Amino acid sequence: MGKGSLTAFLVFFLMLQVNAQIGAMKLVGNNTKDYSMGFGAFIKTGVPVSDAADITLELSANIFPLKGYGLDYGTIMCPLVAGYRYTLNGTGQGLYIEPQIGYNLVGITSLPNDGNDIDLKYHGVVLAGGTGYLFTIGSAPFDLNLRYETVIAHGGSNNMISLGISRFISFGKRDTDY
Amino acid sequence: MTMKFCLTIAAITLVLSSCYKQSIADAMLGITGSKQTTTATLSYEINGNPVSISVKDADHQLAGSPTLYCEKSGGYILSGISSFGEIVFTFYTDSLKVGNYKYTSYYGPMYVTSFEGKPQYVYNPGDNMNFIVTSYTDGHITGNFSGQLTPAITPGYPDNIYGTPGSVLIKNGSFKNVPVFY
């Protein structure tokens, strides 16, 4: 994937260095069986806006290798999304649902072709809907989440289902926080 | 109210993504519909005995033991396994392209296949394997081949003991849609 993969791996590495967490994901839809399970790193932060809800911001780097080619070919996407996370019990903890919308900062799909690689670059709108569970271990807040995400560009879409866990970085406190 | 809002956004996500039937890459390349699975084939006659290999969904062969494939490793190594045994040919090039790839004994002995329980080599003057790649598209090669080989009647180290020079002929060889792995 050349320079694109180098950039993405740098982003991936940097995100791990700043305590981002990793997730597993699978592309779904037409012609996605050529791709292996994907993996990614993401940073997620947010600001409480009520006892039940946060406005969240998430940056992720997702890599989907093409089967049979190691990491030489595949798809890389780095979406930045904002979300509204609403906890069902109204406490800011426990089960939540979260719609997200954003922009794909980097999108590269590299494919082999007759000895001349094809590198497709794109951006696009990102929409996601997910659910998850917020909990704390000691004083550290964690976010276990499952979501469906779509990146729309050039009249097509890359759709994925992802499962991840992150140590949530919160700015601000609720009235109920001690 | 908030629940309705969240569920509405989730529903919009699902509906929009389902409206776009193509992946972004397919849309940019103008590929429509679902890709068909690729069947790779290789066939030839060795001293008149037909040998045939066919692999359905060749792009997704069993990891670690694929049946018919070409892999970039040094050069490009074409390998097929049939009930007759294996056939192997190395394209000595850094970048495989459409063209003629001929290996002769001038370059030294090269194992190609086994026949009647004996390994067959390009060894004697006049021995050769001639592969012609007629198409290399979408990560798959197609072409034809022929050759003349010499059996090693007593394999040994450092040198084999060879049988009748050029006594094994490979004719009517062809391969189609063989996936190239990197």
A18: pLDDT strictly greater than 70: no
Residues paired with residue A143 on neighbouring β-strands, in sequence order: A134, A166
Q: What's residue B110's pLDDT? A: 92
Task: Name the amino acid, one letter, at B171.
Answer: K
- What's the whole-number mean pLDDT along residues B35-61? 85
Average pLDDT over residues A154-168: 83
Does A5 or B134 have the greater pLDDT score?
A: B134
Partner residues linked to B146 by β-bridges:
B130
Q: Kindly state the average pLDDT of the residues B53-65.
A: 78
Question: Residue A48 pLDDT > 50, yes or no?
Answer: yes
At residue B34, φ and ψ (nearest 5 deg) are -85, 140
Least confident of A76-90, B6-20, B30-44: B6-20
| Of the candidate ranges A64-68, A98-102, B63-67, the one whose mean pLDDT is the lowest | B63-67
Whole-prediction pTM value?
0.55
Return the pLDDT at B27.
81
Please check whether residue A2 touches B, CB under 8 A. no
- Identity of the residue in A99, A128, A154 whose CB atom sits nearest the CB atom of B24: A154
- Do residues A112 and A69 touch, judged by C-beta distance below 8 A? yes
Place of tokens 């190594």: B77
Distance between CA atoms of residues B39 and A61, nearest Å: 34
- A113-132 average pLDDT score: 83
Range of the domain at A81: 2-170
Is the Cβ of B25 closer than 8 Å to some Cβ of chain A? yes
Chain B residues whose CB is inside 8 A of the A155 CB are 20, 22, 27
Alpha helices (H) along chain A: 2-17
Write the pLDDT tens digit of every residue in B134-172.
Answer: 999 888 999 999 999 999 988 777 788 888 999 999 999
For residue B37, what pLDDT is reported? 72
Q: If pLDDT is split at 50, 70 and 90, which confidence band does A53 have?
A: confident
Q: Which residues 31-70 of A have a C-beta within 8 angstroms of B?
A: 31-34, 52-53, 67-70
Could you tell me which of B43, B56, B122 has the C-alpha nearest to residue B84?
A: B43
Q: DSSP characters for A1-16? A: -HHHHHHHHHHHHHHH
Contacts of B36 (CB under 8 A, 6+ apart): none
pLDDT band of B84, cuts 50, 70, 90: confident
Position B32 scores a pLDDT of 59
- Whole-number pLDDT of residue B67: 86
Query: B88 pLDDT exceeds 90?
Result: yes
pLDDT score of B15: 65
Question: What 3-state class would DSSP assign to A138?
Answer: coil
B78 burial type by CB count under 10 A (0-12 exposed, 13-18 middle, 19+ buried): buried
Closest by CA position to A160, among listed A6, A28, A2, A14: A28
pLDDT, residue A178, reads 37
Q: Which of residues 110-169 of A touch B (CB under 8 A)?
A: 111-115, 118, 120, 122, 124, 127-130, 148-159
Find out whether A173 and A27 touch, Cβ atoms under 8 Å. Answer: no
For residue A177, is it within any domain? no
CATH number at residue A22: 2.40.160.20
Residue B181's pLDDT is what?
A: 85
In contact, B174 and B143? CB cutoff 8 Å = yes
Given a cut of 70, whether residue A174 has pLDDT beyond it is no
| Cβ contacts from A onto B, under 8 A | 131
- Dist CA B45 CA B166 (whole Å): 15
Out of A101, A115, A148, closest to residue B96 by CB: A115
Contact residues, chain B, for A159 at CB < 8 Å: 17
Q: Which residue has the higher pLDDT, B35 or B158?
A: B158
Tell me, yes or no, whether A178 lies in a domain: no
Domain count for chain A, please give it.
1
pLDDT band at B55 (very low <50, low <70, confident <90, very high): confident
Mean pLDDT of chain A: 80
Phi first, then psi: what are they for B158, rounded to 5°?
A: -85, -10
Rounded-to-integer distance, Cα B69 and Cα A71, Å: 19
**Mean pLDDT over residues B39-61, rounded?**
88
Q: Which amino acid is at A134?
A: L
Residue A175: predicted pLDDT: 54
Instruction: Please state whether the peptide bond connecting residue B165 to the residue before it is cis, i.e. omega within 30 degrees of 0.
Output: no
B22 with A149: Cβ contact below 8 A: no
Question: Is residue A43 within 8 Å of residue A20, measured between CB atoms?
Answer: yes
In a domain, A176, yes or no: no
CA distance B149 to chain A (A): 30
Confidence at A177, pLDDT banded by 50, 70, 90: very low
ipTM of the complex: 0.75
Closest chain A residue to the Cα of B38, Cα to Cα: A34
Q: What is the pLDDT of residue B176?
A: 93
Which tens digit of pLDDT belongs to each residue from A131-152?
989 888 777 777 888 989 999 8
A111 or B101: which carries more pLDDT confidence? B101
Q: Is residue A175 part of a domain?
A: no
